[in-house]
Amino acid sequence: MVQPIACATRHTQVLVLGAGPAGASSAAFCAQAGLKTMLLEREKGPRFHVGESLMPDTYFTLKRLGVLEKLQTSLHTRKYSVQFVTETGKESQPFYFFENNPHECAQTWQVIRSEFDAMLVDNASFHGVEVYQGTHALDVITDPGNPGKVIGARVRQQGVGEFDIFADVVVDATGQSALIANKLNLRVSDPLLRNASIWTYYKGASREGGLDEGATLILAIQKKKGWFWYIPLANDIVSVGVVGPIDYLLKGRGGAEAIFNEELERCPGAKQRVEPGQRLGEFFTTKDFSYKSSQVAGDGWVLVGDAFGFLDPVYSSGVFLALKSGEMAADAIRSAFQANDFSGARLGAWGPLFLRGMDRMKRLVHAFYEGFNFGTFIRKHPDMKRHLIDLLIGDLFKDSVDAIILPLDAMREENRLMQAQEMEMEKTMASQAIAY
């Protein structure tokens, strides 16, 4: 049964729309700071969601939230590394996170998102957040005298109907629905990252032993048409998904199952791993457009998680960026209340640092889709391995990792030239064949 929001409580200091990792973490941090906080979630109970792999640097946000001990005693699969597999099935050496830092933060988890998200919501409630599930944010309410200022939200609650809730600060954590970004026309797409994903789950598929049992695997598809993720979860279940350009993966082809199986045939590394297993349930599809908003905040409002931007499923940065944005935004909100200043400048003070970190990861994402080879790069620049691992663990917010930019960009340019030469050779051979 949905708990109704009483008329007398339809005003709060902080109103958070959406109870995914970004919303639940920002709400919890605001409540920890003594702010009256409401958290609304359209779903009732645990929700299914993809994005099971955590980056190691989620450790620090999770510790501050107070949920680290629950994860450490949970059955979620422990993750120590990420590994890359070429289109021929050749495996790279695992990139062990503890090579940079032997601290316990170098170990993270592959989580079942319904359980992980529910844990974060329960934690927010424990810290004093008023949590209302089955409550759908339909739109945000702007100040009639200042259309860029958000003062509340119009919501629909099951069994109650539609009504307004007003707040000093509204946190948009509505994911790719992105209520505020869409309303204020803030979204900026990345034309180079327009991918789609098809995924499913297997039980009894191949798993490594020891430290490598929980490794995230990124497996290339032949002719560089895309890649598979392979994420070992608890209960002998593996999340397996294929990612590729939308036009290639989805247009003019069959259903999700047929496409998935066709791509599996083009990825020997993934095919041999799933063969011992039994598929569980259906196939899921999503369009992973990469985008970000032109602002992280404005007068009376803040964007966190996918409501601000989405990068790409490769490297598993989604949950990390969601948690980090929720934490950084909550710190800015606390500062805003202390100063009684709810301007966009005050609420968005965290934006430049967050964007620098996100852009560092984006550079590595672009390199991946341009054919970047990790093994070749490390052999050529062994001193860059620590910076590469820093990016893979989520240590994005320090200037020292920028040392990787010049050698990384140089290799990207080499790849582009090589690909251009290959395309030119193919055209020449094709024209010669026609002439013959």
pLDDT band for position 8 (cuts 50, 70, 90):
low
Tell me the average pLDDT across 281-291: 91
Q: What is the total count of domains within the chain?
A: 3
My answer on whether 148 and 22 are in the same domain is yes
| Residue written as token pair 């404005």 | 298
pLDDT per residue over 371-423, tens digit each? 888 888 999 999 999 999 999 999 999 999 999 999 999 988 887 887 777 66
DSSP 311: -
Last residue of a domain, one of 274, 290, 306: 290
My answer on whether 141 and 47 are in the same domain is yes
Q: What is the pTM of this model?
A: 0.93
- DSSP bridge partners of 218: 84, 229
- With a cut of 70, say whether residue 47 has pLDDT above it: yes
pLDDT per residue over 65-83, tens digit each? 999 999 999 999 999 999 9
CB 353 within 8 A of CB 397: yes
Per-residue confidence (pLDDT) for residue 363, from 0 to 100: 93
My answer on whether 25 and 172 are in the same domain is yes
CB 181 within 8 A of CB 172: yes
Task: Tell me the C-alpha to C-alpha distance, in Å, between residue 24 and each of 31, 81, 154, 420.
Answer: 11, 27, 20, 46
Q: Is residue 431 part of a domain?
A: no
Domain of 212, CATH number, reads 3.30.9.100
Q: Is residue 66 part of a domain?
A: yes
CB 364 within 8 A of CB 393: no
My answer on whether 280 and 381 are in the same domain is no
pLDDT band for position 192 (cuts 50, 70, 90):
confident
Tell me the average pLDDT across 30-37: 98
My answer on whether 12 and 151 are in the same domain is yes
Task: Tell me the C-alpha to C-alpha distance, in Å, between residue 257 and each of 20, 205, 242, 262.
Answer: 28, 18, 11, 9
Last residue of a domain, one of 290, 310, 332: 290
My answer on whether 283 and 298 are in the same domain is no
My answer on whether 308 and 176 are in the same domain is yes
**Which residues span the domain enclosing 398?**
366-421
How far is residue 50's CA from residue 249's CA, in Å, rounded to a whole number? 18
> What's the helix, strand, coil split of the chain in %, to 5?
45, 30, 30
CB 197 within 8 A of CB 313: yes
Domain of 124, CATH number, reads 3.50.50.60
DSSP string, 408-434: HHHHHHHHHHHHHHHHHHHHHHHHHHH
| Percent of the chain topping pLDDT 90 | 81
Q: Is residue 82 part of a domain?
A: no
How far is residue 29's CA from residue 31's CA, in Å, rounded to a whole number? 5
How far is residue 123's CA from residue 69's CA, in Å, rounded to a whole number? 12
pLDDT per residue over 82-112, tens digit each? 999 988 888 888 999 998 888 899 999 999 9
My answer on whether 166 and 209 are in the same domain is no
pLDDT per residue over 231-258, tens digit each? 999 999 999 999 999 999 998 888 999 9
